Amino acid sequence: MNTPGPAGGENPLPGPSIEPNLLTVVADSLVIIPTYNERENIENITRRVFSLQGDFHILVVDDNSPDGTADVVKGLIPVFPGRLFLETRKGKLGLGTAYIYGFKWALRRHYNYIFEMDADFSHNPNDLLRLYEACATDGYDMAIGSRYIDGVNVVNWPMGRGLMSYFASIYVRVVTGMPIRDTTAGFKCYKREVLEAIDLDKVRFSGYAFQIEMKFTAWKMGFRITEVSIVFTDRTQGESKMSSGIFREAVLGVIQLRWKSLVNPAKYRLPKS
């Protein structure tokens, strides 16, 4: 990670040298964690991310969780000053809009690598480093933590849900034509430029369809996308917010996405810089 520090240790020029503890540590990576009733998970996941080798900041976007998730985060902010941030919204407004809110927050600041991650440990925080490498070292614009590179890497999901997710991914690939295996994945790293190029106010969907739409838009715009193989483990604490409405949105949403891309290809042209 790019953490500015004193070059070479010695200060070759006469005059005051900078006290090391006064140097600002600028993290270039922000992990956005949307939460709704994640009281049991949020402290552990936060501590895990901050124990990684990389220099990550975290933004929690909480939708006024009735279980007091935000209070847990508020209690942790003094423990991780300048690294942990909380934004609360009025009520449950959906995963997609929570991320859009977080993306805009990140773009107003200095972050170059912006991550999506669930609070419930389905995504292993260690994999943040692999997603980071794919973008920062290998030069991809977006890295996706993918469950479906070699078979189905899902632990603890009931058979029905695993199969549904797998076939949903194939359905999405066929309808959209996107060469991505895990199209509904929600563990990702975006380079800043991708989020700057996408018109975030025009993102239409909120659940799984949101995840598909972000990938589809980035792919159509010509950004370089890679998939990093991960193991997805179902939550052991708290409850899933998956609903039949979210599922329906995705099934119909992909058809709309494809259709709109055919009638309005200009939407995917990169803005002139």
Ligand X SMILES: Nc1nc2c(ncn2[C@@H]2O[C@H](COP(=O)(O)OP(=O)(O)O)[C@@H](O)[C@H]2O)c(=O)[nH]1
Rule CB under 6 A: which residues touch ligand X?
34-36, 38, 61-63, 92-95, 98, 118-120, 122, 235, 240-242
The strand pairing partners of 33, in sequence order, are 60
Pick what 38 binds: Mg ion, ligand X, none; C-beta below 5 to 8 Å, kind-dependent. Answer: ligand X
Is residue 38 a contact residue for Mg ion (CB under 5 A)?
no
Identified binder of Mg ion from the candidate list 28, 38, 116, 120, rule CB under 5 A? 120
CB of residue 60 to ligand X, shortest distance in Å: 9
- Spatial neighbors of 63 by CB under 8 A, at least 6 apart, are 34, 35, 36, 88, 89, 90, 91, 92, 93, 98
CB of residue 230 to ligand X, shortest distance in Å: 14
Pick what 96 binds: ligand X, Mg ion, none; C-beta below 5 to 8 Å, kind-dependent. Answer: none
Applying CB under 5 A, which part among 23-31, 121-129, 156-164, 246-254 lies near Mg ion?
121-129
Minimum CB distance to ligand X smaller for 54 or for 186: 186
Pick what 243 binds: ligand X, Mg ion, none; C-beta below 5 to 8 Å, kind-dependent. Answer: none
Please say whether the beta carbons of 182 and 171 come within 8 A. Answer: no
Minimum CB distance to ligand X smaller for 57 or for 223: 57
Distance CA 17, CA 23 (A): 11
Amino acid code (one letter) for 125: P
- Spatial neighbors of 239 by CB under 8 A, at least 6 apart, are 37
CB of residue 250 to ligand X, shortest distance in Å: 11
Q: Any idea what the Cα angle at residue 146 is, between residues 110 and 28, rounded to 5°?
A: 15
CB of residue 250 to Mg ion, shortest distance in Å: 15
Residue in 250, 252, 254, 265 with CA at minimum distance from that of residue 220: 265
Minimum CB distance to Mg ion smaller for 161 or for 235: 235
- Residue 154's φ and ψ, nearest 5 degrees, are -125, 130
Tally of residues, the chain: 273
Comparing every residue's Cβ against ligand X, the nearest one is 240
Please report which residue ranges of 12-158 form alpha helices under DSSP H. Answer: 39-50, 69-76, 95-107, 127-136
Site string for Mg ion, 186-225 (x = CB under 5 A): ----------------------------------------
Minimum CB distance to Mg ion smaller for 120 or for 227: 120
Q: Which residues bind Mg ion (CB under 5 A)?
A: 118, 120, 122, 235
